[in-house]
Amino acid sequence: MPSPDRLLALPSGRALVGLRTKLLNWFDEHRRNLPWRVSRDAYRIWVSEVMLQQTTVAAVVPFFERFLVAFPTVEALAKADEQQVLKLWEGLGYYRRARHLHAAAKELIANSAGKLPDDPAVWANLPGVGRYILGAVLSQAFDRKLPIVEANSLRVLARLFGYRGDPREGEGKAWVWSAAEALLPQKRVGDFNQALMELGALVCLPTGPACGQCPLAANCKANQDGLQEKIPPPKKQTATVAVSEVGVVVRDGAGVLLCRRREDAGRWQNMWEVPHAPRAPNEEVSTAVVRVAKELTGLDVEAGAEVLTIRHAVTRYRITLVCVDATLRGGQFTPGFYAASEWLTPGELDKHPVSAPQRKLMRELGKSGRQKRLF
């Protein structure tokens, strides 16, 4: 059976050693000074890698620093209430990551005496830990010879070896993981994995890569063939779906109704929001307000003026959320769609974790002298 190096058309011997050396030397000189790189502490590395999934470095840094102040150890994280964790995560999005991180911390405390072990078998069974997180944490913290593949390293590897298929799926996905593994050095594995990602983030950009600054330019097949803009091929575009929603700001005197989603709610589970749901085709906003309040909370309301219209995206959905004031006219909150509810004053609306669109609404409701407007 051919060796992985032969299958991947990798350089061998001194050439392969030279490639690794060039990349590590470049990383030593150009690596960014990031707060999770100050040590090989597995907990700090783990938290950072979870946060960095589908989020930029610039966005993560302040969240990481606040999170580590609140939960400096895996023990502190495990002891925290989930609402505390979600509140600290508020604004990062993809909240399932936070819930998995919290659940995994509890498992480590219960089954591993609070230690983050150098054991792939333990990590592989933790909530939210896939092949990338496992390789990223164990290679950086313990120098385990494990590969990682994410958007930046995927792009570097595809261009370096001139892979013209799609490395994000199918045979291409298997190929890129094999390439990442075959390139690994015997030592400084974590640094090497970070170097691949760093090169993709700073030099081997999706468009307009700075090939003149790349330490691997002489080795790069895409650079030699002028195919940097074609490798890897663009992501397949998914058709977007427009959704029109109404959000109901139910008021009873000075109180505003905030509801908590159920644990099995899927998206935004256990987070808080004003009741909201899609409008039916051609349904008047005021009609939708009354219907949504009744169906989701059991309350009878009278629709008022528009508060704010928020446009945001969730996966392939492009959502227009029209938020409307509503006055409580009767009924009692009935758990069902929501697990619980609270009446809060505008000054208390930052008490609970909410999604980014809901936070925009909370800020608007907290403004003094806010002018009402017709929808």
What gap in Å lies between CA 98 and CA 89, rounded to an integer?
7
DSSP 306-366: EEEEEEEEETTEEEEEEEEEEEEEE-----SSEEEEEEE-GGGTTSS-B-HHHHHHHHHHT
What gap in Å lies between CA 353 and CA 91, rounded to an integer?
9
What gap in Å lies between CA 355 and CA 41, rounded to an integer?
30
Helix (H) or strand (E) holding 76: helix 74-79
Helix (H) or strand (E) holding 273: strand 272-273
Write the DSSP symbol of residue 85.
H
The angle formed by the CA atoms of residues 263, 71 and 259, to the nearest 5 degrees, is 30
Burial status of residue 184 (CB atoms within 10 A of its CB: 0-12, 13-18, 19 or more):
buried
For the question of residue 245 being annotated catalytic, the response is no
φ, ψ of residue 92 in degrees (nearest 5):
-80, -25
- Out of 49, 90, 198, 273, the active site residue is 49
Q: Which residues are known catalytic residues?
A: 49
